[in-house]
């Protein structure tokens, strides 16, 4: 799970961990992580945290539903099901999981189109920049999803951006997901469709719950307890920051727990996603420049 943000020709990891997955199981012993922080995004998240505090004091919390259009791109090396040429039924099941997980946040998802591409290079997880550029639809407030069979992570998603970063972000925005993480997929412990839930959290501006470890600002959301490192499995009672309030949020969608362990976003995370949507994505529907 990796957050990518475009900046000119480069792809920069923003407060992210890239997790290597070998074979058909996710083995924490094979985890390889890269962590970095971008000063501009740190300032932005601090601003959102301050606004959340003011809104909480004043009792302001947006209640209107956020509706997000979804374009699905299935990439495989052949039309054989064994090559993870996903069916429409599987995609509908995946989006049902996504909608259910975001329903408490009053965020809904509407499938607009499914397309399929046979491209062995892309299916093997290479030349993805070309895939993102060539195969996409909609605007900056529409969610593009690419499902590919082979990938060095379970998934990756762009975070919202603006200003100088926007030109390149427009052509790479969206989420890329390993095909075997869909409901009924072959990746043990990660085949209930929750990888997409996690990645869309990044697309809506959330960081990992273990961001920053036990010290500092963490994920800039007040009601997610501090967490030293990602969870593995579903370790009930884990307390990796014993000097800080609360147990590790192992059931939070923005941790790294098993799919079966995922249950929730916090109210603070819901407020953050809604704020980020309003600031970075909602307006794009009315700007012709923001259409692909």
- Burial of residue 213, with CB atoms counted within 10 A of its CB: 0-12 exposed, 13-18 middle, 19 or more buried: middle
Q: Cβ neighbours of residue 245 under 8 Å, at least 6 residues apart?
A: 225, 226
Alpha helices in 86-239 (DSSP H): 88-102, 120-123, 128-134, 166-170, 194-203
- Burial of residue 242, with CB atoms counted within 10 A of its CB: 0-12 exposed, 13-18 middle, 19 or more buried: exposed
Q: Cβ neighbours of residue 114 under 8 Å, at least 6 residues apart?
A: 72, 73, 74, 88, 91
**Which 8-state DSSP code applies to residue 65?**
P
Residue 213: strand, helix, or coil: coil
HSE-CB at 105 with a 13 A cutoff on CA atoms is 30
- Burial of residue 241, with CB atoms counted within 10 A of its CB: 0-12 exposed, 13-18 middle, 19 or more buried: buried
Residue 290: strand, helix, or coil: helix
Of the residues 89, 199, 215, 236, only one is catalytic, namely 199
Active site residue 282: no
Which of the residues are catalytic? 199
């Amino acid at each position: 799970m990796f957050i990518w943000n475009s900046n000119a020709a480069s792809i920069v990891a923003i407060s992210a961990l890239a997790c290597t997955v070998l074979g058909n199981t996710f083995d924490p012993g094979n985890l390889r992580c890269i962590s970095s922080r971008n000063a501009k995004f740190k300032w932005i998240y601090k601003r959102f945290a301050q606004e959340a505090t003011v809104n909480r004091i004043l009792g302001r919390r947006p209640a209107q539903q956020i509706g997000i259009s979804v374009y699905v791109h299935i990439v495989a090396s052949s039309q054989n099901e064994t090559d993870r040429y996903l069916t429409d039924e599987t995609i509908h099941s995946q989006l049902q999981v996504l909608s259910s997980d975001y329903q408490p946040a009053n965020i809904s998802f509407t499938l607009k189109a499914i397309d399929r591409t046979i491209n062995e290079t892309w299916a093997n997880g290479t030349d993805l920049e070309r895939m993102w550029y060539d195969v996409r639809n909609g605007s900056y407030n529409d969610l593009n999803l690419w499902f590919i069979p082979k990938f060095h992570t379970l998934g990756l998603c762009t975070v919202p951006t603006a200003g100088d970063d926007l030109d390149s972000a427009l052509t790479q925005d969206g989420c890329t997901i390993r095909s075997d993480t869909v409901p009924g997929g072959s990746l043990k412990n990660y085949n209930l469709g929750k990888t997409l839930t996690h990645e869309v959290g990044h697309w809506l501006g959330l960081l990992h719950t273990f961001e920053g470890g036990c010290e500092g600002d963490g994920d800039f959301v007040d009601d997610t307890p501090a967490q030293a490192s990602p969870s593995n499995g579903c370790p009930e009672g884990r307390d990796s920051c014993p000097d800080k309030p609360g147990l590790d949020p192992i059931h939070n969608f923005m941790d790294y727990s098993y799919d079966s362990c995922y249950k929730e976003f916090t109210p603070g995370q819901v407020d953050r996603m809604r704020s980020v949507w309003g600031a970075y994505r909602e307006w794009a529907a009315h700007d012709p420049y923001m259409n692909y």
